[in-house]
A and B are shown apart, each in its own frame.
Chain A
Amino acid sequence: MCIFALIKKSDMMNKNVINLNDVVIKFAGDSGDGMQLTGTLFSEAAAKSGNDLATFPDYPAEIRAPQNTVSGVSGFQVHIGKNKIHTSGDRYDVLVAMNPASLNANLKNTKRGATIITNVDAFDENALTKAGYSSNPLDDGSLESYSVIKAPVSSMTREALANSDIDLKSKDKSRNMFALGIILYLFNKTLDSTFEYLDAKFGKKPDVAKNNKLVLEAGYSYALHAEITLSTLHVAPAQLAKGKYRNVIGNVTTAWGFMAASERSGRPIFLGSYPITPATDILVELAKYKSLGVKTFQAEDEIAGICSAIGASFTGSLALTTTSGPGFSLKSEAIGLAVITELPLVIVNVQRSGPSTGMPTKSEQSDLYQALYGRNGECPCIVIAASSPSDCFYTAYEAAKLALEHMTPVILLSDGYIANGSQLFKIPSVKDLPPITPPVAQASDPEYLPYRRNPETFVRQWALPGTPGLLHRVGGLEKTDGKGAVSTDGLNHEKMVQYRNQKVQKVADFIPKQETEGDATGDLLLVSWGGTYGFVHAAAEVMREKGVKTGHAHFKHIMPLPKNTAELFGKYKRIVVCELNNGQFVNYLRAIHPQFSYEQINKVQGQPFLVEEIVEQLKK
């Protein structure tokens, strides 16, 4: 019997529907419970129904952390809305807790009055003890101020698969589908997009697809018939601009941005990379597109990753290397080589909590100093930072454009939050992106010299091996201006140091002016950079609602800064720089524009800001 057949359209109509502007849902369970997949599938369903959204996966570094422990809880946060969604949300309206540990870990960020869906079967004495409970919170009244749904997820999953001949362990693996069924019902979403996903994913294993569908339907049906709630929730479709969208994570859009830049510049992609959390997915995504001529090289280590890319850059590729903090440290010497050889290269650092191995799956913005200063010698690099999963596409594209046109390494700072978080990405057309024109030297150009520079940009030409008449050598040793012979002449060295520096500073002529959102002058300017955009944007909105004339300047271009930065800072009485580190951008600003007084809001907990935290700090 197909349970799904029992769900009639009339049943759905009878329910009270509560309309909401936005909802934050947190899926939490043991790592290995499939919460990442559950959250992703719910996001897909919400996106399909037209909601705007932002997601935030938050999981432990261990692949299968100890069961039922608080440290082993894996979570996936989704914020859906009918208006533009800027953050993954502060606190949860709905919490799915697959075991006591996930309830314990997430209750503090759950709103009073929120709906909590629990797998009551998992609340046995052993699991309660491991989670740190001395009594069962489902019975002891401690959850009185929440609306708790005690769903027998484990037992009903087994029941739904009673006629299946797979073993019990395999049956239990489908529990997440039961939970997803409940949530999809609760939010008035259809099962269609999830069915499509299951068919696609398990195309070769139709039995697995069928079992998962059975459990999904069972969860949906349970929610409907057991009357777990008097009403369902509805978030109306967002008023998004016309066009096509995809729900994608920042690491994927980063890869796409590079591929678009490759197509637009005509330079083939070479990515030299070594797997590292949370940057690996850029390599994973690029490795798929051999049909676009993408060459990915999984190197023996981080150093070989960047060095192979430098070799590819010398021979004419759009050369990339991707990493996170510890790997970025290992690449420092080779970044210096790319600076002195003046070759185009993009180094992506998807930042995570440091120092050293730190907290690999947790996000932070603490590698800014390293990006700006972390090399021997006078060694300037262009530094730009992406602000959201969608913006990763455009920032990657611009990083490639700047590297190729200015013949110098560009450091692209992303972070774990936007790299793994998703957002609706409006699909652009490649032809609408700005052109990219690298300064490739012409064959047998009699004027060619390896270090002859464009007098306005100080950019040298790119002479590719295989081109007649342009034989030359580059390398880590200082070279003479123009001719490029090895030189230890002090005055020549100083001249070359200044050229390389001015070349990077000149980039300021080619980047857009810094913009502000909100009030263009006033009491307060909130300054941020990188992956914190949404939270600081939302905090600025709250301040304006409170009557404070507030602007928000979110920086993408860090080295060099936009030319109008000081002019813009001068328009506000108070400047507060918000960042997820101990104050690296604020100190950089203090060094470059010391005429202003800066306040700072910092957080280094491996977690994104909460909007309310920023607002709270601003009161001080």
Chain B
Amino acid sequence: MNAVSSKYSRKDTGWRLFLKTIIARAYPRLIGQQREVSWLVFDVVMPMLAVVAYVFVYRALEAPEEYIGFVVMGGAMTAFWMNILWSMSSQLYWEKEQGNLALYIMAPNSMMAILLGMALGGMLATAMRAIAVTLLGSLMFGVTYEVTSYLQLFSVFMLAMIALYGMGMMMASAFLLFGREAWHMANLAQEPIFLASGFYFPIKSLPFWVAAGASILPLTLGMDAMRQLIFSSGFQFGFMTVRFEIIILAVMSVVFVVTAKFLLAYVEKIAVREGRVTESRR
């Protein structure tokens, strides 16, 4: 009896609680989602439909083969952006609608740890979908890759992911304040972002200031750098040098995560003081 009660009455605090919260929130994303195989099918099929359509547009235009590779890579990266929109930015809003948000805020754990757990789990689970889209697209359309630097590729991908999910954490708080408009905002941030970030064409093709403005989204620079690193003629299509893009992504990673922390603190303050953030208004 004592052994049982001591096991369950032990209260973790500090960094141990922080880490456990991250793991606990990442668990349903990482393990739970894999149990639901049908999600995997839809998550792969939907981006593939766009990939197939755009590949055939390029084929109709008799475009060079590199562009087919750009589309496949862009299609794979859409999985991350969709995950950011629907499973990060909108997540706190969904939690509010289902009545969980108040419980999150009341619990003795850090909200930042919850968002980090969501980001970690979402990132890993989405990576599996992105790999599936890349493999499927590469096999279907015979895309070949030629990596010039694995170290740089790894750095770019990891920094792009940290910055992107940092941005997702930041947007989660902002979307919560949008209320009923959150769903529409997430819906709106699809095609315009696919356009501005150059998911299906090199960002260098856009006017300089448009491309520079779009670079505020980590995926814009991340994809631009990755295209330069994995396709033999990719450097011709680069907007900036890979090294410079790595530096910018590193800065973005820090800025977005820190801003997310401040925004979250603000939302928590409103929730506790006014009680209106956690209230579901259908």
Chain B binds chain A: no
Residues of A that sit less than 8 Å from B by CB: none
